Amino acid sequence: MALRKIRTIGDEILTKKCREVTEMKPRIKELIADMLDTMYDEQGVGLAAPQVGVLKQVVVIDVTEEGNNPIILINPQIIEMSGEQKGQEGCLSVPNRAGIVTRANYVKVKALNENMEEIIVEGEELLARALQHEIDHLSGILYVSKAEGELFDTTQE
């Protein structure tokens, strides 16, 4: 298990566009394994490669409570979206903060899996939100630019 350091807001790398992955190399496999370890360790529902300082189009997501259903997406693209959901969103790169963001309620995503095979992932509600949030990271977009009103502090309950 290898954990990577999470870059936080203010770090320029989070604002950059990521490059496509053209070939599955050992370094990318290691990156994916480390991203999964890091996401689970931080109790996040998703993580994008730029958040660990790598400008490649790699995303991991797991919205299950058990944390036993990882989705690995390489070069993901949203090909369909519909509906609307408005809700709270946070990000491991924006610690102790959350904001209200309106997203599509359904998305269909085309991507490659860790074997570089084409896959289609469809999601609603939380999964749709996670897909949109993580794919935004690959374009250098943080949810804070889409949040309505002020962010709030999640440490004071």
Confirm if 57 and 49 have CB atoms less than 8 A apart. Answer: yes
The piece of 26-34, 67-75, 91-99, 106-114 that touches Ni ion (CB under 5 A) is 91-99
What is the distance between the alpha carbons of residues 58 and 73, in angstroms, rounded to a whole number? Answer: 6
Q: Which CB sits closer to Ni ion, 45 or 74?
A: 45
The piece of 16-24, 69-77, 90-98, 102-110 that touches Ni ion (CB under 5 A) is 90-98
Q: Name the catalytic one among 30, 42, 114, 134.
A: 134
Is position 39 an interface residue for Ni ion (rule: CB under 5 A)? no
* 3 state DSSP class of 124: strand
Q: In the structure, how many helices (H) and strands (E) does the chain have?
A: 2, 8
Decide if 134 is catalytic: yes
- State which of residues 28, 36, 91, 127 lies at the interface with Ni ion (CB under 5 A): 91
Confirm if 82 and 104 have CB atoms less than 8 A apart. Answer: yes
Catalytic (active-site) positions: 134
Q: By the criterion CB under 5 A, which residues form the site for Ni ion?
A: 91
